[in-house]
């Protein structure tokens, strides 16, 4: 399976220099497209990194392989607790309810495949909502 360079997207409140207190910064999504032997888009690996409460970020990886399907952004586990618990430093949740997970989707158009986002993040009193098409991938690579 071929892949090409990561594509990176930053949330609307991204800053070049982090704050020195919480919230440190926003969300960064790194997405890597993977192409099969026929050079057609096979899947995309997306890493959602939340810098709200931790300057180094807390990440969740989502593997997307089908267009038109919403994939959950799982809350990563905090392995420093026994037993491991969901990491409270990851603030990404769904847009309808705090009990929902954020979502990612691959969306096919005539110009390519786009990564769509649907989530909110940040501190409870200052949530930011992200909706829309953020990154474009080629349906196939030129031979």
Tell me the C-alpha distance between 22 and 45, whole Å. 28
pLDDT by residue for the chain (143 residues), tens only, comes to: 565 678 999 998 788 888 999 999 999 999 999 999 999 999 999 999 999 999 999 999 999 999 999 999 999 999 888 999 999 999 999 998 878 999 999 999 988 999 999 999 999 888 999 999 999 999 887 64
Q: Which pTM was predicted?
A: 0.92
Using an 8 Å Cβ cutoff, are 16 and 28 in contact?
A: no
Ramachandran class of 39: left when φ > 0, alpha when ψ lies in -120 to 50, beta otherwise:
left
What's the pLDDT score for residue 15? 84
pLDDT of residue 122: 94
Strand partners, 104: 71, 117
> Are 74 and 52 contacting, i.e. CB atoms less than 8 angstroms apart?
no
CA nearest 43: which of 135, 106, 132? 106
- Does some domain include residue 61? yes
> Residue 104: inside a domain, yes or no?
yes
Domain, as residue range, for 94: 2-137
Burial class (CB in 10 A: 0-12, 13-18, 19+), 142: exposed
Q: What is the rounded distance in angstroms from the CA atom of residue 95 to the CA atom of residue 77?
A: 21
142 within domain boundaries: no
Q: Tally the domains of the chain.
A: 1
Query: 3-state class of 111 per DSSP?
Result: coil
Asked if the structure places residue 57 within a domain, the reply is yes
| Per-residue confidence (pLDDT) for residue 1, from 0 to 100 | 55
| Alpha-carbon gap, residue 102 to 84, rounded angstroms | 21
Question: Which pLDDT value is given to residue 4?
Answer: 65
């Amino acid at each position: 399976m071929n892949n090409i360079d990561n594509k990176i997207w930053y949330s609307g409140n991204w800053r070049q220099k982090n704050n020195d207190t919480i919230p440190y910064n926003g969300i960064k999504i790194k997405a890597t497209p993977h192409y099969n032997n026929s050079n057609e888009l096979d899947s995309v690996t997306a890493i959602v990194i939340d810098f709200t409460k931790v300057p180094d970020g807390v990440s969740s990886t989502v593997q997307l392989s089908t267009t038109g399907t919403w994939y959950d952004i799982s809350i990563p586990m905090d392995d420093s607790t026994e037993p491991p618990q969901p990491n409270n430093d990851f603030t990404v949740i769904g847009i309808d309810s705090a009990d929902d997970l954020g979502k990612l989707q691959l969306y096919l158009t005539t110009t390519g495949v786009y990564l769509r986002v649907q989530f909110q993040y940040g501190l409870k009193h200052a949530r930011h909502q992200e909706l829309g098409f953020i990154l474009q991938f080629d349906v196939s690579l030129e031979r």
